Amino acid sequence: NAGVTQTPKFRVLKTGQSMTLLCAQDMNHEYMYWYRQDPGMGLRLIHYSVGEGTTAKGEVPDGYNVSRLKKQNFLLGLESAAPSQTSVYFCAAKYRGNTEAFFGQGTRLTVV
């Protein structure tokens, strides 16, 4: 979906390093989400935001922080990366209500 862009697409980190994943959307979506995808586990919600300046924890929030200072951007931070955070991360954005979510292309993160 051209409207949701994730940066970077790939990254390799050493244990203990920090990084920030950026999700940008240009469709004026209210809600934004960060998911991680692991083999056999589907997509699990890390954190989400229902509007600018508000964030909340999802199903697997430990080890991550998020910020949404601007409506169009949702940042996911790893303060001290661990091998267990090796995963594919997806950002999603949607309008208020039960509409479909639009996903970014994913970020493949490897922590060694």
Residue 74 CA from chain centroid, whole number: 7
Looking only at residues 61 through 80 of this chain, which bind another protein when binding is defined by CB under 8 A? none
19 counts as binding another protein under rule CB under 8 A: no
Site string for another protein, 26-45 (x = CB under 8 A): -----x-x-x----xxxxxx
For another protein, the binding residues (CB under 8 A) are 1, 31, 33, 35, 40-45, 48, 50, 56, 58, 88, 90, 92, 94, 96-103, 105-106
